[in-house]
Amino acid sequence: MTYQEKVQLWKNNPNLENSLRKELEAMNEKELEDAFTNDLEFGTGGLRGVLGAGTNRMNIYIVAKATLGFGRYLMKQSKVACSRGVAISHDNRHQSKEFARMSAEVLSTLGFRVFLFEALRPTPELSFAVRHFKCIGGIMITASHNPKEYNGYKIYDETGCQLVPKDADQVIKEIEQINDYFNIDTTQNHELIQYIGKEVDEVYINEVKKIILRPNLNKDFKLVYTPLHGTGQVFAPQVLQSVGYDVVPLPCQMTCDPDFSGVKTSNPENKEAYDEAILLAKALGAKIVLATDPDADRLGIAVEHNGEYVLFTGNQTAALIFDYICKTRKELNTLPKDGYMFTTNVSSTLPIAIATKYGLKTEITLTGFKFIGEKAREMETTGRGTYVFGFEESYGCLVSDCVRDKDSIQAILMLCETAAYYREKGMDLVDALNAIYEEYGYYKEGITNISLKGLEGQAKIQRIMNYFRTTDIALKGFNILAKDDVKLGVKEDYVNGKNEKINLPSSNVIKYYLNDNMWFVLRPSGTEPKLKVYYGVKGNSLADADSKLEALSKEVLSIVDLIK
């Protein structure tokens, strides 16, 4: 069906939701083409897109269609799928509550029990709820850190893990068979919808608190916390206060505001997200600023050091937490001999060096925490090892696999414990990170986000990826040792002149391995119209690492710029 035919289908629908009809009538031809040519696709974070009219937008019809497809998929997985039920939660965004209710009504009409959170809750708690209620699946309505114009839809399996590609593909097949998404029945069996809330919060929080390793550390320092208007406000400050931390929430961002009006950006990867929180921290003399993204699965931090607040990357925070866990559990004799640390192929390799020191094995997955969740599930079902830690560079980690998604509440508890531990030694977290660098080497990572919107942008991304896939590139200051083409499933070893098979699911990702444990990766975003270029270097000092990182990114981007 052409995009013009799709447009007419929508315009001819007499029951089209009124606000969507008004938007549709106001769109020009280019906007119509962008909104209807493609359908929203499942990426690394499920469905995610701009709110509005169209098959390439997030709206009630796309949510209903996705949910009906997901429900049919679940019913094929188990004869008791409906009685086991589905857990559903949502964040603070525009239409999130409506999308959650719509999903619940589609599923109840199919005959599913539904455990629907009464109000916004963090993504990790949704993952926990799936496991707690022994559900067959879960749905989280969120667009994570995206701008206010976006919303999204994540789906979870019975272990609380986001669906991996082989399973998501089956859901997509079910969705593609639904042609009349305007008349999906949502009217039946609403008595099967059970609202849940504080009783689940209590169980989840008690389970999360089990990760605490040194409960009696001195906590005589002040923290500032912001949820960036998102779901972390539900109980993150209370969790910290309940175990003795002096935390002050940032009032102007402790509101459920879908317009994010009290913050410059809802993404804790961006330094502007911390501006207001740092002002409060300076006024109070707080040592650490904690920021969770809107669905509270990711944590960003700023640490006071010599009078200035230093922002940490997700890689740095993960290295700090993981190093602390390893040294503490070794001291307590609780570090498993068959322990595993999981990471992704775009994340820092510093935690791999830490794992090696402590005798832990490392496995590397694709980007997307669902792949780490899948590994945790494998540990549990096969008994081949013990999960110790998992992280990805995009500010997400998981300490206890009672959850199968990244969990900022766990990250907050462990990060604050790490800070308390080093404070007793007269060190702040910048000092602690520098000590890790001195021991393992000065690792530094970077990322370039190249925004390429619309159909033209998609085509440009494919041209760039095809160029790197088919062309033997050369870098002036670096030696290329090998290249992973994950889409083709092949590693080209340039040193030995051999090709090897990659044991990863096919994905449009290319990774180059360089001399001295350096690397870079090209990867189209699965949730935004961007090409992401990741870099990792290792230097003899911070200055050396900074210099190498700047040189590497400059060389790679000079090649990208030549591709028209």
Q: Is 144 a catalytic residue?
A: yes
- Count of all residues that appear for the chain in the document: 564
Q: Is 465 left (phi over 0), alpha (psi -120 to 50) or beta?
A: alpha
Q: How many CB atoms lie within 10 A of CB 294?
A: 31
Distance set, CA 86 to CA 100, 115, 194, 219, 326 (Å): 12, 6, 10, 40, 36
Measured in degrees and rounded to the nearest 5, phi and psi for residue 256 equal -85, 80
Report which DSSP code applies to 46.
B
User: Residue 162 corresponds to which tokens in the numbers above?
Assistant: 């986001």
Q: Are the C-beta atoms of 396 and 406 separated by less than 8 Å?
A: yes
Farthest-apart Cα atoms in the chain, separation? 70
User: Residue 68 corresponds to which tokens in the numbers above?
Assistant: 């009906």
Distance set, CA 430 to CA 299, 312, 320 (Å): 17, 9, 10
Rounded CA separation 156/140 (Å): 8
Rounded CA separation 273/278 (Å): 10
Q: Which of 89, 144, 348, 408 is catalytic?
A: 144
Measured in degrees and rounded to the nearest 5, phi and psi for residue 363 equal -125, 140
Q: Which of 69, 5, 11 is nearest to 40 (CA)?
A: 69
Which residues are bridge partners to 531 per DSSP? 450, 524
Q: How many CB atoms lie within 10 A of CB 383?
A: 9
The catalytic site residues sit at: 144
